[in-house]
Amino acid sequence: MAHRTSRTNLIYRFCLYGFLKNQRYFAPFWILAFLDKGLSFATIGILIGFREISVALLEIPTGAVADTVGRRWAMIFSHVAYVAAFLTFGFTTSLYALFVAMFAFSIGEAFRTGTHKAIIFAWLKSQGREKEKTQIYGITRSWSQMGSAISVIIAAALVFWLENYTVIFWISAVPAALNIFNFLSYPSSLDFAGDKKPQRMEAMLSLWQATLSCFTSKNLRRPISESMAYEGMYGASKDYLQPLLQSVALAMPLFTAWENTQRTAILIAVVYAVLYVLGSFASRYSGPIALYLGNEQKAARYLWAAYGGTFALLLLGTITHWSILAIGSFIVLAVMQNIWRPILVSRVADEADEHAMATVLSVESQAKSLGVSLLAPLIGFAIDRMPTEYQLTPIAILGMAIALVALLTSPKLPSPDQAEAGSQGSDPS
* Tens digit of each residue's pLDDT (9 = 90 or more) over 50-61: 998 898 788 767
* Mean pLDDT along residues 221-242: 90
Measured distance CA(334)–CA(282) in Å, rounded:
9
* Mean pLDDT along residues 81-108: 93
Phi, psi (rounded to 5 degrees) for 361: -65, -30
> Who has greater pLDDT, 134 or 407?
407
CB-neighbour burial class of residue 226 (10 A; exposed 0-12, middle 13-18, buried 19+): buried
CB-neighbour burial class of residue 278 (10 A; exposed 0-12, middle 13-18, buried 19+): middle
Measured distance CA(280)–CA(348) in Å, rounded:
22
pLDDT tens per residue, range 247-283: 888 877 666 667 778 888 888 888 988 888 888 888 8
Name the H helices within 252-295: 260-284, 286-292
Question: Residue 57: helix, strand or coil by DSSP?
Answer: helix
Whole-structure pTM over 0.85, yes or no?
A: no
Mean pLDDT of the chain: 83
Give the residue extent of every domain in the chain: 16-191+201-410
Measured distance CA(394)–CA(315) in Å, rounded:
9
Measured distance CA(212)–CA(360) in Å, rounded:
10
From the CA atom positions of the chain, what is the Rg in Å?
Answer: 21
Residue 427, pLDDT above cutoff 50: no
* Mean pLDDT along residues 134-156: 85
Band of residue 190 on the pLDDT scale cut at 50, 70, 90? confident
CB-neighbour burial class of residue 251 (10 A; exposed 0-12, middle 13-18, buried 19+): exposed
Residue 325, pLDDT above cutoff 80: yes
148 with 271: CB under 8 angstroms? no
Band of residue 19 on the pLDDT scale cut at 50, 70, 90? very high
Q: 62: Cβ–Cβ under 8 A, 6 or more apart, which residues?
A: 74, 107, 110, 111, 115, 362
| Cα end-to-end distance, the chain, whole Å | 35
294 conformational bin, left if phi > 0, alpha if psi -120 to 50, beta if neither: left
Measured distance CA(12)–CA(140) in Å, rounded:
8
Measured distance CA(362)–CA(349) in Å, rounded:
11
Count helices and strands in the chain by DSSP H and E runs: 18, 0
289 with 339: CB under 8 angstroms? yes
Most confidently predicted of 8-17, 21-30, 210-219, 285-294: 21-30
Fold of 16-191+201-410: Growth Hormone; Chain: A; (1.20.1250)
Measured distance CA(131)–CA(357) in Å, rounded:
16
350 with 342: CB under 8 angstroms? no
Q: Considering only 50-64, 67-81, 85-99, 347-361, which range has the smallest mean pLDDT?
A: 347-361
Q: Considering only 14-28, 148-162, 245-259, which range has the smallest mean pLDDT?
A: 245-259
230 with 112: CB under 8 angstroms? no
- Within 13 Å and on the Cβ side, how many CA atoms surround 130? 11
Band of residue 422 on the pLDDT scale cut at 50, 70, 90? very low
The CA dihedral of 154, 155, 161, 166, to the nearest 10 degrees, is 140
Q: Considering only 2-11, 68-77, 257-266, 325-334, which range has the smallest mean pLDDT?
A: 2-11
40 with 364: CB under 8 angstroms? no
